[in-house]
Structure 1
């Protein structure tokens, strides 16, 4: 089956309130995005829940409060109806991410590859934001104000892959879209981002990859359950890889939903990085992102929740990002800059849904390595 993915792109500059007003305009123009980001109930979350969320945002993402107030004013709804404040709104997508450090790339640059997979009607909105008093950044939004991924003007990049499948996080705290947003808005280097990550009351089960233009990178594997959390860091001089399972030894006991498809994508990435060590280029990573699983990480199983919605290649040394909207097996990458003209654009990208040839094998859960 072949049909279209509905994307939007918004580029805006100004105060956080002015940016929020443009985000409200985007919701007016994009019914699919509006449906995702506005609760159907008349009042949204209860006042106590909203109060707790706003207290956290005031400390770590005060600009999001300004943006949310502006959206509320623009489309004339209480901010309690914005989905970003409702913990039950978030579903788990699948992702692949990799960092090729300067020691193994042909040009000595730090390269990041990233793909995001989920259902076809998930949020598909690229933002290019230059807010007063904050570094400009480029990334895909989640619940409008949070981020799936991104790069800021300082060359700091943050991406993620979910591990919520086996152990959904619960309790009070910031879920990953706002964690990533806080890092992009406040950090210039990996060490700063790690410090902030440890200070935040993170509430997610995820792998977060952080890298900077100075050649540093770290992968944070995170597990949260109630008021308890664990952050396990992994560094390397050569490469870092993450899909939808834990790898660090001290995290294996939490790895209770290790999908075979996650392992297949991990192995495809590692095979390339090992084989082409010292010669890794942008074309190698784009090729990997474009090849279908098991030879690459691209997936076409949209109806099953594993369809590639966007792919990204970051060159942190040059502070650039190339993006493919939809499947890179079908479409080309394009350069997106911090100087995109202010405005909103809506566009459609064809996609083709497929199903695994052997679904029982493909969707199986692998046993834990350590109990």
Structure 2
């Protein structure tokens, strides 16, 4: 049951700039295999109708206007109908993750940072990082979902955004919780925040105007030391705002009234939450945290660390990410596997586009991994 197996995937990085049309055209050359984007996900039991896709496009046009121009240019370059792009089926309304924010005072180098592990299944992933410099918007570096969405990222101003699912993942796919309202998936919202907001205050105001249909723990931090946790549950929302304070989440709510309304969570979510809490207590005890400490936590196997290698159970670490808010650097280790190395991207240098093979080591979880327990 616990014997490990390995597989290879292809990860890529690219830098794109200019108008939405120019970016869409460039993305067609960067990722021409449009039929493979998120193709491993279970198909919706009831795919969106043409009318519903049109409604979703109208919502994206209102709240994330440049994405439509990119999608149209991408589709035109590849000579496909933009209405058929799987991005629309996914975005109009099963990741499992861990994340934490470390203020400057906790870090040995004095650099505030955000770190996260992102878990899912490899056949549904882009395995791509993009540096985007859109005309008239903030440049950002982030991981992609369905190529045009973002799972996390940092922008040129220092605004840093990450997420974890809060409870059962919400989506149109089989096995997910049906959305309670018409709205957008988190990856569309995260990208819009990165491109239009310079700090946490602006991001919180922006997100209040957007119909976010996903149940999320959204972690935001900026270069002035402001940090916020914005949680949603079926259209309702609550937030924690603070200054220079560590925050962390896994896959259950921690903001009232949502945690009182959700008395149980997966055993693994509670274990990962407590693991991060113990790690943060090290800094509270005046033991400064190093970058190496953070990397070790992300890459150490569950239950002692945050790395989960259960890819066949849709719970494998796709990537470990560290975002340095002071230097505006984005570091990534694919698969949470030290053998794949750490790549670093920043705004002050021009990295070459890359494609490289990575190795994922898979094993089966213990029987109690997904057990629901009280917290």
Say whether the fold is shared (TM-score over 0.5): yes
In the other structure, the counterpart of 1:241 is 248
In the other structure, the counterpart of 2:218 is 208
User: CA separation of 1:7/1:340 partners in 2, compared to 1, >3 Å: closer, same or farther?
Assistant: farther
Report the CA distance between 1:213 and its aligned residue: 1.1
Which of 133, 138, 162 is the aligned partner of 1:135?
138
CA contact under 8 A between 1:46 and 1:80: conserved in structure 2?
Answer: no
Question: Secondary structure of 2:340's match?
Answer: coil
CA contact under 8 A between 2:167 and 2:253: conserved in structure 1?
Answer: no
For residues 209-258 of structure 1, what are the alpha-carbon distances to aligned partners after superposition, in whole Å with 9 as ceiling and x for unaligned?
0111111111111112xxx4223335364310011111123111443661
In the other structure, the counterpart of 1:364 is 371
In the other structure, the counterpart of 2:107 is 105
In the other structure, the counterpart of 2:72 is 69
Report the CA distance between 1:33 and its aligned residue: 3.2
User: CA separation of 1:326/1:273 partners in 2, compared to 1, >3 Å: closer, same or farther?
Assistant: same
In the TM superposition, 1:216-235 aligns within 5 A as 216-224=226-234, 228-235=235-242
In the other structure, the counterpart of 1:125 is 128
Q: How many residues align?
A: 359
Question: Secondary structure of 1:235's match?
Answer: strand
Report the CA distance between 1:159 and its aligned residue: 0.6
Runs of 5+ unmatched residues, structure 1:
none
Alpha-carbon separation, structure 2, partners of 1:276 and 1:198: 33
Are 1:261 and 2:263 an aligned pair? no
Of 282-291 and 179-188, deviating more is 282-291
Report the CA distance between 1:102 and its aligned residue: 2.2
Alpha-carbon separation, structure 1, partners of 2:166 and 2:98: 12
In the other structure, the counterpart of 2:336 is 327
User: CA separation of 1:331/1:255 partners in 2, compared to 1, >3 Å: closer, same or farther?
Assistant: farther
CA contact under 8 A between 2:227 and 2:245: conserved in structure 1?
Answer: no
Alpha-carbon separation, structure 2, partners of 1:73 and 1:256: 49
If the length of structure 2 is used for normalisation, what is the TM-score?
0.88
Alpha-carbon separation, structure 2, partners of 1:83 and 1:355: 30
Alpha-carbon separation, structure 1, partners of 2:108 and 2:228: 21
In the other structure, the counterpart of 2:314 is 305
If the length of structure 1 is used for normalisation, what is the TM-score?
0.89
User: CA separation of 1:282/1:66 partners in 2, compared to 1, >3 Å: closer, same or farther?
Assistant: same
In the other structure, the counterpart of 1:349 is 358
Report the CA distance between 1:342 and its aligned residue: 7.6
CA contact under 8 A between 2:159 and 2:199: conserved in structure 1?
Answer: yes
In the other structure, the counterpart of 1:195 is 205
Alpha-carbon separation, structure 1, partners of 2:9 and 2:21: 29
Of 142-151 and 55-64, deviating more is 55-64
CA contact under 8 A between 1:190 and 1:216: conserved in structure 2?
Answer: yes
In the other structure, the counterpart of 2:174 is none
Report the CA distance between 1:141 and its aligned residue: 1.0
Runs of 5+ unmatched residues, structure 2:
171-176
In the other structure, the counterpart of 2:20 is 16
Report the CA distance between 1:29 and its aligned residue: 5.1
